[in-house]
Amino acid sequence: MPILTLITDIGEKDFLTGAIKGQMLRYQQDLNIVDITHTIPPFNYPQAAYICRNTINNFPPGTFHLILVNIFDENSNRFILVEHKGHFIGCADNGLVTMILEEEPQKKVALELDQLMQKSTLSFTNLFAKAIFELTNGKTIEEIGNTEIEIKSKHPLKPNTGDDWIEGQIIFIDNFENVIINISKIDFETNRKGRNFSIVFKRDEIIEKISTTYSDVNEGEKLAFFNSAGYLEIAVNKGNAAGLFGLQGYGENQYLSNRLFYQTVKVFFH
């Protein structure tokens, strides 16, 4: 049974998410549709890339991933389909796919809209529904789309580094207001080189150890650890780190009711 994941910025207030699933099932009734999220903040590419990348990495090869984020960012009459390390990803040609993969896709084709068709969410998703049907019935990606294309690229959001520091951006705040920074464990250890460190945020908040669980500190105390995706996370045991420290995701509004929000976290090595 083919698996399809759905990641969108559509929300859940209107008919679109249901209509998209209906389109997919009209082509292939045994499709196993998995809703990941429909609440990606509009225009927030770093957060979308973080969620999509870590979703894709945990599904088996052969899974289809439909990503509907900022699909009208470009005035285009095509939807792109890529095949990369056994996964198939359908999305707009807006650069997001290269942020997700952190490299160029191994294979890519354009799924073209008929010139007479209206550009809409459902017209684009219909192209992907048809592509899934054709791929699961034996066609190759090269047989179902235009291979002579160049796609738009965006660079993934990377931390800034110096000889004795690394500065990351907040890319996601979860439901518990834990704060995820785009510093991976590999980035951290590569720059650390065995040295001691101080994680500094909101001017004077400092953490000088990496924990393994929330219970490593007392209730109400702050901690840092590497989450299941391998990224640095700042949390408060049974508390809300983002709200308590005035932290906000990178690229979001920096001011709300004249209150300054902090969007970066810096690690000093010594």
Helix (H, G, I), strand (E, B) or coil at 60: coil
Quote the CA–CA distance of 93 and 153 in Å, as a whole number.
9
Q: What are the respective helix, strand and coil percentages of the chain, to the nearest 5? A: 25, 30, 45
Intervals of CATH 2.40.30.90 along the chain? 160-269
pLDDT band at 75 (very low <50, low <70, confident <90, very high): confident
The domain made up of 160-269 is a member of CATH 2.40.30.90:
yes
Phi-psi region at 114: left, alpha or beta (left = phi > 0; alpha = psi -120 to 50): beta
Give residue-wise pLDDT tens across range 90-134: 999 999 999 999 999 999 999 998 877 788 999 999 999 999 999
What does pTM read for this prediction?
0.88
Intervals of CATH 3.40.50.10790 along the chain? 3-144
User: What does the longest C-alpha to C-alpha distance in the chain come to?
Assistant: 63
List the structure tokens of 127. Answer: 């192209």
Return the higher-pLDDT residue of 77 and 105.
105
In the chain, the percentage of residues whose pLDDT exceeds 90 is 78
How many degrees, rounded to 5, is the angle at CA 142 between CA 138 and CA 144?
A: 65
- The pLDDT score that the predictor gives to residue 251 is 60
Q: Which amino acid is it at 231? A: Y
Q: What letter would DSSP give residue 146?
A: B
Q: How far is CA 166 from CA 120, 155, 170, in A?
A: 42, 18, 13
pLDDT band at 255 (very low <50, low <70, confident <90, very high): very low
Torsion of CA 21, 23, 25, 28, to 10 degrees: -130
Give residue-wise pLDDT tens across range 142-179: 999 999 999 999 988 899 999 999 999 999 999 999 99
Q: Which fold has domain 3-144?
A: Rossmann fold (3.40.50)
β-sheet with 32-37: strand ranges across: 32-37, 3-8, 64-68, 87-92, 78-84, 107-112
Q: In whole numbers, what is the pLDDT of the chain averaged over residues?
A: 91
Residues facing residue 14 across a β-bridge: none
What is the dihedral sign for C-alpha 104, 107, 113, 115? positive
Return the higher-pLDDT residue of 264 and 226.
226
Quote the CA–CA distance of 112 and 127 in Å, as a whole number.
8
Give residue-wise pLDDT tens across range 39-68: 998 888 999 999 999 999 999 999 999 999
pLDDT band at 252 (very low <50, low <70, confident <90, very high): low
pLDDT band at 12 (very low <50, low <70, confident <90, very high): confident
Give residue-wise pLDDT tens across range 206-232: 999 999 999 999 999 999 999 999 999
Per-residue pLDDT, averaged over 69-87, amounts to 91
269 burial (CB, 10 Å; 0-12 / 13-18 / 19+) is: middle
